[in-house]
Amino acid sequence: MATLVRSVARNLMRKNLSPASTLHSHATSFGFKDVAEEDKSKMVGNVFTSVASNYDLMNDLMSGGLHRLWKDRLVSKLNPFPGMKHLDVAGGTGDVAFRILENIKNVKHRAIQDVLDDDLIEDTRIYVCDINPNMLGVGKKRAEERGFGRDKSLVWVEGDAEALSFEDNSMDGYTIAFGIRNVTHIERVLAEAYRVLKRGGRFLCLELSHVDIPVYKDLYDVYSFSVIPAVGELVTGDRESYQYLVESVRRFPPQEQFAKMIAEAGFQKVEYENLVGGVVAIHSALKF
């Protein structure tokens, strides 16, 4: 094990992947490779086209099912309410959107609400926006299986996080889970999130992040670079897509740097919560 840890560490060092060396390259990186900006979107699209049919299964296998708890935590921070207009970006398979809708329709929650809630629920709109039609196709199929197939509250939109089709000041909430590290320009995504949110609207981002605890970090590196790609190859026959996944996490800005980027986009009350020692982090902010 110690030899494997050292091997992974040496590989990272050879690629000059310290946080300081990567902060300025994320916009043109594809995993550990530097690519032309115009190529990245297509390359990421190919990854998600390849993994779409097994996306949720692999999330379960890679996280030991913990991604379900992380998404529950994300939605609890959102505090959904009947009648809200919400945008879930990079949400193709519907995992976050279903949780939001179920939360709003929860009987126990509604028992203490005004009788006008029925009308408000009819007005609720959860927009699931994803650039990849294959991921949206999986989400629509899952919606049918969950009984949401004809629910007007769910709206499926093929769109780019960097150039949203929604109007200014139109959304009460914005979520993006495990998606922002895949975009070409993080700053543009944050600017678009700020633009579409109403005053008082909440921004929430759930993303794989950086572990700083030394021994835990070494073990996490071994798991990431040795286990995840192997499992991906075994289950989906596609090792490269999951190699990209773990590499893209290392190229993503650390928690404090990402929080600073959110603030620079105009958001206030920027906070983040590390889960599982920083394996994932939830960043939250408000638009005033």
- Report the binding-site residues for S-adenosyl-L-methionine: 93, 130, 160-161
* 162 conformational bin, left if phi > 0, alpha if psi -120 to 50, beta if neither: alpha
- Annotated binding-site residue numbers: 93, 130, 160-161
Find the Cα–Cα–Cα–Cα dihedral 47, 51, 55, 61, rounded to 10°. Answer: -100
Asked if residue 203 lies in contact with residue 195, where contact means CB atoms within 8 angstroms, the answer is: no
Pairing of strands 29-30, 33-34: antiparallel
User: What is the arrangement of strands in the sheet containing 197-208, beginning at the earlier edge strand?
Assistant: 154-158, 125-130, 85-89, 171-177, 197-208, 280-286, 268-275
- What CA–CA distance (Å, rounded) separates 58 from 274? 22
User: Are 61 and 235 within 8 A, CB to CB?
Assistant: yes
> CA-CA distance, 75 to 79, in Å (whole number)?
6
Are 4 and 226 contacting, i.e. CB atoms less than 8 angstroms apart?
A: yes
| Residue in the block written with tokens 């650390």 | 254
Which residues does 283 contact at the CB level (< 8 Å), separation at least 6? 203, 204, 205, 207, 255, 258, 259, 262, 270, 271, 272
The CA-based angle 243-245-248, given to 5 degrees, is: 110
